[in-house]
Amino acid sequence: MNGYLGIDVGSISTKGVIIDDNQKIIASSYIWTKGDPISAVKELLSLLEKQIDTESIIISGIGTTGSARKLIGSMLDASVVKNEITAHATGTLSIHPDARTIFEIGGQDSKIILLENGIVTDYAMNTLCAAGTGSFLSSQSERLGVDVKDFGEIATKSKHPAKIAARCTVFAESDLVHKMQIGYSKEDIIAGLCNSVVSNYLNNVGKGKKIIEPIIFQGGVSKNIGVKKAFEEKTGYPVTVDENGHLMGALGVAILSMRSKKIKRFSFSIKEENFETKGIECNRCPNHCEIICVRKNKELIDSWGNRCENGTIKR
């Protein structure tokens, strides 16, 4: 049986799935990147390998997406390397073909994707502030002494959510401290944080966008029922959270690798290989490009970053 591997490497988490010819997920995993995407992918491959029978399932296509998609694409000799918008839209439509709006909030970034008749018509991503992301909620959970996984359940118990400034991380944190000092309960503060994440998202990422249902909410923050509830209250529409919402990017790029028809025979033994990256500055013209070189067992396999032929590095 053919299998298709999709990997989504983000700044906070690394996700992977293996699908069959019917686009059914037969293996999946979600781990922390820890600032080292190569090591994270090696660990991910070990976890995925244990979930399948490698003698009867042949990996025939590999796709990568996320912030480290080009690096991991070179490492795995991927069939396709796609941006997050395309990957998330493809994954979502494979499960929710009638979706019109996708809310996605991850660890460091967030995005909105608008769809019509299964085609992406508009999108936007956060650019400057992380106030509406998972890392922001995680840092505030430490300040409050509460596990971020419990945020959603605690938020739903609040009857009078505190108003937390949502303009940026700095303002939100100072406002949170103020609310703690004047006696707001943790339930009300946490509910206020969930509301502020949604307000920040809609006022920045979703600014000027026409939000139409069905709405699909995905990314790690989608598991927070407090944020989901806040989205429903502020948009006035029901919001769907898929059980595999955190894997949509990986699922989408796995599907794209299957559709590409670019057969790539893959072996899990690649996780035993040694990969190195190194940045060098090219001084052959005034651009002074920073060129990234990727080596496998000390042999150059890829490079990028040059803006002219002077910086071309041959294998």
What does each of the 315 residues of the chain score in pLDDT, given as a tens digit?
Answer: 899 999 999 888 899 999 999 999 999 999 999 889 999 999 999 999 999 998 899 999 999 999 899 999 999 999 999 999 999 999 999 999 999 999 998 877 889 999 999 999 999 988 666 666 777 788 788 778 888 788 888 888 888 888 887 666 777 778 888 888 888 888 898 888 888 888 888 988 888 999 999 999 998 888 889 899 999 999 999 999 999 988 999 999 999 999 998 887 788 999 899 998 888 898 888 888 999 899 998 888 888 888 888 778 766
Amino acid 315: pLDDT: 63
d(CA 312, CA 303): 8
Domain 98-241 -> CATH class: alpha beta
Per-residue pLDDT at 210: 93
The answer to whether domain 2-91+249-272 and domain 98-241 are alike in fold is yes
| Token representation of residue 77 | 């000799």
CA distance linking residue 315 with residue 303, whole number of Å? 9
At 127 the pLDDT is 63
**For 171-191, how does the pLDDT look when each residue is reduced to its tens digit (9 = 90+)?**
777 888 888 888 888 889 888
The DSSP line for the chain is: -EEEEEEEE-SSEEEEEEE-TT--EEEEEEEE-TT-HHHHHHHHHHHHHTTS-TTT-EEEEEEEEETTHHHHHHHHT-SEE--HHHHHHHHHHHH-TT--EEEEE-SS-EEEEEEETTEEEEEEE--S--TTSHHHHHHHHHHHT--GGGHHHHHTT-SS------S-HHHHHHHHHHHHHTT--HHHHHHHHHHHHHHHHHHHTTTT----SSEEEESGGGG-HHHHHHHHHHHSS-EE--TTGGGHHHHHHHHHHHHH-------GGGGGS-EEEEEEE--SSTT--EEEEEEETTEEEEEE--SSGGG----
Query: What confidence tens digit (pLDDT) does each residue in 235-271 have?
Result: 999 999 999 988 999 999 999 999 998 887 788 999 8
Tell me the domain boundaries of the chain: 2-91+249-272, 98-241, 275-311
Q: 2-91+249-272 domain in CATH 3.30.420.40? A: yes
